Structure 1
Amino acid sequence: MLKSKVAVQVISSGMLPEDTLMLGETHVKQWKIPQGQHILLKFGAFRHHVKIIPVARFDGLRMSHSLARHLGLSHGSSIRLQYKAGPAMLVLGPLIGVLVSRDYPLTPDKPFGSITMFCRELVDACTAQGAYVYFFTPNQIGASLNTVDGWIYSDGWKQAAMPVPDVVNNRLTTRKLENRPNVQHFLTEIKSKHQTTVFNEKFLDKTEVFEALKKDESLVRYLPESHLLRNLAMLKSMCGRYNSVFLKPVRGSLGKGIIRVVRADPSGYQAMYATAAGTRKQHYASLAKLFSTISAKMKTVRYQIQQGLQLIEIQKRPVDFRALVQKNAAGKWTITSIVARTAGTHHFVSNLARGGTLSTVAEAVARSNLQSGIGRRDASQRLQQAALQIARGVDEQIPAHFGELGIDLALDTSGRVWLLEVNSKPSKNDNTPLNENKIRPSVRMMIQYSRYLSGF
């Protein structure tokens, strides 16, 4: 099937009827598009019967102003097209919708707050690849299952009524927004009505991930012992087996609310609480006293209890690794980047929001207390292998569609690779490769995968 990218020219509706398109003669001949009879034009959920007029020495696409308005396309847009002879259908696309948490219409130069630059980067990358992208929020989802009020970029950010897209990238940052009835209804209905593909469909809970991955024997070696914390007996059992354990909110992110429990000399236990200001320490005479403190929180927060690991450190600051794993133009998982994150002073979690610092894997491993020389040499390769295996495991074991995952890994001092967490909504700041071009590889990859999903 021939596919190509063309520039859109929008001309006055008085000069060209809404049901007529002008297309370069070469495309018309190569694709054997019938002339003088109506064919179907498709753009996302939009359908319209049009006649095609071939134009000599022209390789673009001309349409009337009124048709362009229905499509949400502006003059100069770059778009791919393909002709399907069976249904006599000219398909434009791919049309990508990015579902974001909120917008700020009163600041039209920065309508998405801190992620506006990321959104603009997506627009530029789509222009380069001949895709078309718009952005919308849960508040912009209305009763229609054919159109969405969204934001496009055309000499500045503008709001426009857009067709429901071929592909939706769910970038909602809270479960509360994601679980809103109008959001869930919309996503379910457009999948069945328009065969729209939605990726990164949902947030992942920590216990859900570990329980699912345990079913894959090839992944068990990466999994520290983890359970949903249910009672004092489980806390005692885990603290009896390991020198330290971590209590992590099942639905937490950015290192919030993590508690590290270690046996204290000469007696009792010390709990270290991760806070924005640093680590707060508290001593408990017994695990029963510690449990009674957190059991009040357990009424509203579920905790995962996890085996403590002897992570590699740089100057007594723990190091972990964030792998950004994405599906590529062939629909296969690939490593986009892996960066090392070293915890800030007085912190035991490495998140950048908590003062952590980024470095390359090689730099971090070279400066760390990793004991094995062999482990140092191939650390990067083993981290990559683990990240890819874990991403495939998530695909196989969890019934939802993911196109990118942030996978947090660790090395212990003997060089063994461990999984810490899988994040289905990786931040566009936290996993940034260190040497940047204007358009990040992660952004290009997201569009390539969208093209794969939509057949472009």
Structure 2
Amino acid sequence: MRKHYLIEVTQNDQMVVFCPQAVLRDKQIKKIAFGSKSIAVDFFPHPDKNDRIVISKKIQEAIQFPHFTIPLHAFIENQILYIGPLVGIFTAGFTSIPQQPVGERTLFFSKLLSVNKPVGALAFVFGEQHIDWEQGTIEGYFFHNQAWTTVEVPFPNVIYDRLPNRKSENNPKLIKVRERLQKEYLIPWYNPGFFNKLDIYERLQKDPSVTTYLPETHPFTSFSIMETMLSKYGHIFIKPKNGSLGLGVHQVIFDKQTGDYYCRYQDDGYINRLRKFVSLERLFHSVFAHQSLEKMLVQQGISLLRNEKRSIDFRVHTNKDDYGKWQVSAIAAKIAGHGSVTTHARSGGDIKTIAEIFPKEECDLYTEKLISTALLLSKSLDRNIEGIIGEIGFDLGIDRNGNVWIFEANSKPGRSIFSHPELKEVDFLTRKLSIAFAIFLTEQALLHPEELFK
């Protein structure tokens, strides 16, 4: 990680900033900036401290720097010293309860903001209603000293998109906010939008370096395509194109001996079902009677590795770090519940570490395969998707021949795997990296804006 400096405020009204000599390095610096606010000041080397930048109370008020003692990074460009980054986390669903400003997601955001000090960034949460366009300020929610507080700050250096669902993502008012902050204020905005399964598949399919990991997948068009795939693979999966959490996933199995069809799924009461039908048409008229099939896709069934006769897939998190490089930040095995079509905990699934399931030699082999595949896929999606991506959650499978397959890529991955006690450390790492990426973006926006906004 890069070096960061404690920002210290002195109780005077001098327009002077004291910096470590390593920051100044004989450079001509005339202004200090925090977020979108800057002011002309004089700079002097700090006589005896090389770990802090000292500003006066008057400067603090002018640039709207919060009353927090926190280490931050220093960037110099065009004779301006930028302290930060100031990171705005954009979301929706705010409440009027001070202790729970974001409702049931408050705990997640408090954990996310707890990485401010180790990362050397100042992150806050906000919604469209907290923006003052006239003043160029935001009433931000900060989690400081284990408590929530609101502070008026300038527009941030970078914005991290944490909208909770597709409904909020498609809200015209929120779309307008994003476009305005990106286009008028040139603020880098990362992780916009939820992935569409079929769109992701089609984009990856164009990249020869990753096609080997893609199960055959088609939009639902007719029974004939399913008949063809069933005769080829023995079983298929039918999924919503925009689904999440395993909702709406059905497994269809064809018994070549008897000619019967079976459908495994979870009903509206979250009960696992396995039903038998004499034809594919009857299966569909019964199970999919009230579903919009044009919103579904059909995917090749794969015989996955098993643990005690239960299928295993793997959640692999990747993040870009403070140098803009992809890292694998977390891996967990998810074991399907008995009779379940998915590995989700809601369906009786279990979360394990790979080491809990496999002997060391297999554990090392599978871990290496999952890491190399996830990094290849991350780089491919990065090249082939619009916008700035900072994190991805992959659902990967390994078949009985040791081949790796991608089932899903999530731009806003769930965090259920981190309930496992042995994954607490990587839980922290994923949160840390998701904010650390803002350091890289801030630097890019200052030094190479043409790369970000091309």
TM bracket (short chain): 0.7 to 0.9
Partner of 2:18: 23
1:451 partner SS:
helix
Indicate how the Cα distance of structure 1 residues 334 and 323 shifts in structure 2: closer, same or farther if over 3 A, else same.
Answer: same
CA deviation after TM superposition for structure 1 residue 138, in Å: 4.2
1:348 aligns with 2:341: yes
Indicate how the Cα distance of structure 1 residues 142 and 268 shifts in structure 2: closer, same or farther if over 3 A, else same.
Answer: farther
Pairing of 1:216-365 with structure 2 (within 5 A): 216-264=207-255, 266-275=258-267, 277-293=270-286, 296-299=289-292, 302-365=295-358
Which letter does structure 1 place at the counterpart of 2:369? R
What is the rounded CA distance, in whole Å, between the counterparts of 1:27 and 1:214 in structure 2?
48
1:177 partner SS:
helix
1:378 aligns with 2:365: yes
Partner of 2:451: none
1:436 aligns with 2:429: no
Q: CA offsets per residue over residues 195-220 of structure 1, 9 Å max, x none? A: 31111111101101111111112212
**CA contact under 8 A between 1:74 and 1:154: conserved in structure 2?**
no
**CA contact under 8 A between 2:91 and 2:127: conserved in structure 1?**
yes
1:101 aligns with 2:98: no
Indicate how the Cα distance of structure 1 residues 258 and 10 shifts in structure 2: closer, same or farther if over 3 A, else same.
Answer: farther
What is the rounded CA distance, in whole Å, between the counterparts of 1:318 and 1:438 in structure 2?
24
Which letter does structure 1 place at the counterpart of 2:401? S
1:378 partner SS:
helix
CA deviation after TM superposition for structure 1 residue 53, in Å: 6.6
What is the rounded CA distance, in whole Å, between the counterparts of 1:110 and 1:31 in structure 2?
47
1:380 partner SS:
helix
TM-score by length of 2: 0.86
What is the rounded CA distance, in whole Å, between the counterparts of 2:68 and 2:10 in structure 1?
5
Moved more, 247-256 or 343-352: 343-352
CA deviation after TM superposition for structure 1 residue 81, in Å: 2.5
Q: CA offsets per residue over residues 373-396 of structure 1, 9 Å max, x none? A: x86661211111111111111112
What is the rounded CA distance, in whole Å, between the counterparts of 2:358 and 2:366 in structure 1?
8
**CA contact under 8 A between 1:318 and 1:348: conserved in structure 2?**
no
What is the rounded CA distance, in whole Å, between the counterparts of 1:438 and 1:260 in structure 2?
32
Q: CA offsets per residue over residues 301-356 of structure 1, 9 Å max, x none? A: 71110011111111221110000011122211111111111112332311233332
Partner of 2:452: none
What is the rounded CA distance, in whole Å, between the counterparts of 1:288 and 1:29 in structure 2?
74
Pairing of 1:103-182 with structure 2 (within 5 A): 103-106=94-97, 108-141=98-131, 143=133, 146-155=136-145, 156-182=147-173
1:47 aligns with 2:38: yes
2:417 partner SS:
coil
CA deviation after TM superposition for structure 1 residue 254, in Å: 0.8
**CA contact under 8 A between 1:227 and 1:305: conserved in structure 2?**
yes
Indicate how the Cα distance of structure 1 residues 221 and 126 shifts in structure 2: closer, same or farther if over 3 A, else same.
Answer: same
Indicate how the Cα distance of structure 1 residues 128 and 202 shifts in structure 2: closer, same or farther if over 3 A, else same.
Answer: same
What is the rounded CA distance, in whole Å, between the counterparts of 1:317 and 1:122 in structure 2?
33
Which letter does structure 2 place at the counterpart of 1:110? Q
**CA contact under 8 A between 1:255 and 1:274: conserved in structure 2?**
no
**CA contact under 8 A between 1:141 and 1:186: conserved in structure 2?**
no
What is the rounded CA distance, in whole Å, between the counterparts of 1:230 and 1:431 in structure 2?
38
**CA contact under 8 A between 1:96 and 1:132: conserved in structure 2?**
yes
Which letter does structure 2 place at the counterpart of 1:416? N
Indicate how the Cα distance of structure 1 residues 290 and 219 shifts in structure 2: closer, same or farther if over 3 A, else same.
Answer: same
What is the rounded CA distance, in whole Å, between the counterparts of 1:145 and 1:355 in structure 2?
51
**CA contact under 8 A between 1:45 and 1:163: conserved in structure 2?**
yes
**CA contact under 8 A between 1:145 and 1:164: conserved in structure 2?**
no
Partner of 1:207: 198
The gaps in structure 1 that reach 5 residues or longer are 368-373
Indicate how the Cα distance of structure 1 residues 31 and 147 shifts in structure 2: closer, same or farther if over 3 A, else same.
Answer: farther
Pairing of 1:372-451 with structure 2 (within 5 A): 378-430=365-417, 434-437=422-425, 440-451=428-439
CA RMSD of aligned residues (A): 2.9
Which letter does structure 2 place at the counterpart of 1:8? E
**CA contact under 8 A between 1:328 and 1:334: conserved in structure 2?**
yes
Indicate how the Cα distance of structure 1 residues 242 and 26 shifts in structure 2: closer, same or farther if over 3 A, else same.
Answer: closer
Q: 1:184 aligns with which of 164, 168, 175?
A: 175
**CA contact under 8 A between 1:352 and 1:430: conserved in structure 2?**
no
What is the rounded CA distance, in whole Å, between the counterparts of 2:217 and 2:369 in structure 1?
22
**CA contact under 8 A between 1:9 and 1:75: conserved in structure 2?**
no
Indicate how the Cα distance of structure 1 residues 210 and 83 shifts in structure 2: closer, same or farther if over 3 A, else same.
Answer: closer
The gaps in structure 2 that reach 5 residues or longer are 445-454
What is the rounded CA distance, in whole Å, between the counterparts of 1:179 and 1:31 in structure 2?
49
Q: CA offsets per residue over residues 103-126 of structure 1, 9 Å max, x none? A: 3331x2333344434433333322
**CA contact under 8 A between 1:31 and 1:83: conserved in structure 2?**
no
